[in-house]
Structure 1
């Protein structure tokens, strides 16, 4: 799995490079990309970064007190979240607790790099997203073996870097931000509920339950006709010979067992008349999805 590690500023760059060297120990399927090391001389930096953003499956953003509002950090974070989704972007806090995180990046689940438990949770999450995962006990053993190496590197990076001029956030500021986030989530939930309600009210909703059962809900007009045709097709071919029925924009798709296909061919003319009389296309498929024949609605 490819991981894009974003940074801005010298401290974040050193952290990104430390993660780049350390993460593959957790799972050899991990391939990190850090722009400071993975862009060769003469290669166009922005085009390379854009390409990697599209190819990566997960993003880690190295955040410091001084860079959390940097345009580049927020650009890459926004690009990653659009490409991967919010659950696949992890802010990795280098020299600050989670409570001091501010700006657009607060919408993502952050990891405190000084907290061993937080970093372990991040590693488990990354391992779960890999195509080839490491067994949990083995992963824990590997983490315990190499955690000290990363921790030492991070402590050295913090100590060597100049003290940040960005003050800790006031409690009132944090509370105001939390209120804003709660209100935003409330608005999103309300909008989602409205969409769900509108979907439920669509009169043409069509649901297929058990393999050999077709159910039409809120039946009116075309839906009643489709239900009637579905029942007639079951009588012609045999309910036990139909594994699935699917409604399409133009009619019905009938998936049949081998015996069902044979029966459908035997009543070919009847199905043809039914499709024409009811103005509904009837298409016959084998159980595996192979196309057999269609009866147009005319």
Structure 2
């Protein structure tokens, strides 16, 4: 499956190049197309770029603070959206948040450059590649292995431009103001309804936990059953599933550390923010 990677500007290009190199290590049958030429310099597209755009079944668009109004980026997003499902038009926000974007890109489901969001994007691309779909358990393992490499490289790019780009400061100030308004709105909603409105970080923690739970108790169920039969190998006599009290919580039980990590992170968040959710029987 061909994936067209679109960029505009130096920061966007650097991130696009890293993603172009990383993506086939996780989805080996995906063929990313990335033009090394700066299409913002006024030259007409060559026929091969137009052809690749037409042949691609998904598009990744590296969006930064300095290319929000790029006509080429918008054109390419529109061109691909006309021939594929909108879920396969994937703007990735680099050093930005959803509150920073406006215009045509708001019609698409954006991806923040963070682990849970990017993981969903990779899984969506895998499902779209109908002739070469990887098993979800395999894709989960591969993603977990290679994500730190991608995160480190892109984070270095973001940090290298953050201090030197005055526009980044402006956007951050606007974002902080908007977040204050949103926090106030949440507080008013909580007071009025007596409930809790989840926000992005909480949603991400819940998503990670549910994906881990699904990996162990559905996708990896046969292996999980074998581990449960020999539970004394994985849990000490004084421990339990959540607190096994063993040196190696994985110990050939591939997905359990992922589940325990996401469960503990979610519980810690609930306790830290005094969210009115019961986490254990008293």
TM band (smaller chain): 0.5 to 0.7
Q: Which residue matches 2:126? A: 127
Tell me how far apart the structure 2 counterparts of residues 102 and 64 of structure 1 sit (CA, whole Å): 12
2:178 to 171, 189, 194: 171
Tell me how far apart the structure 1 counterparts of residues 16 and 52 of structure 2 sit (CA, whole Å): 15
Tell me how far apart the structure 1 counterparts of residues 115 and 150 of structure 2 sit (CA, whole Å): 10
C-alpha change, 1:164 and 1:140, in structure 2 (3 Å) is: farther
- How far did residue 165 of structure 1 move? 1.2
Q: Which residue matches 1:89? A: 89
- How far did residue 46 of structure 1 move? 2.9
Q: Which residue matches 1:53? A: 53
Tell me how far apart the structure 1 counterparts of residues 26 and 144 of structure 2 sit (CA, whole Å): 10
More strand, by proportion: 1
Q: Which residue matches 1:110? A: 110
**What is the RMSD computed on CA atoms of the aligned residues?**
2.5
Q: Which runs of 5+ in 1 are unaligned?
A: 176-298
The two structures have a TM-score, normalised by structure 1, of 0.53
- How far did residue 69 of structure 1 move? 1.2
Q: Does 1:143 align with 2:143?
A: yes
- Whether contact under 8 Å (2:99, 2:178) holds in the other structure is no
Tell me how far apart the structure 2 counterparts of residues 164 and 49 of structure 1 sit (CA, whole Å): 33
Q: Which residue matches 2:100? A: 100
The number of residues matched between the two structures is 170
Tell me how far apart the structure 2 counterparts of residues 164 and 96 of structure 1 sit (CA, whole Å): 14
- How far did residue 83 of structure 1 move? 2.5
More helix, by proportion: 2
- Whether contact under 8 Å (2:96, 2:112) holds in the other structure is yes
For residue 155 of structure 1, give the secondary structure of its aligned residue in structure 2.
Answer: helix
Structure with bigger RCO (C-alpha 8 Å, 6+ apart): 2
Q: Which runs of 5+ in 2 are unaligned?
A: 183-282
- Whether contact under 8 Å (1:92, 1:112) holds in the other structure is yes
- How far did residue 45 of structure 1 move? 4.1
- How far did residue 47 of structure 1 move? 1.7
Deviations 1:97-135 (A, max 9, x none): 12212221111001101x110011111101111120111
Tell me how far apart the structure 1 counterparts of residues 138 and 88 of structure 2 sit (CA, whole Å): 23
- Whether contact under 8 Å (1:2, 1:31) holds in the other structure is yes
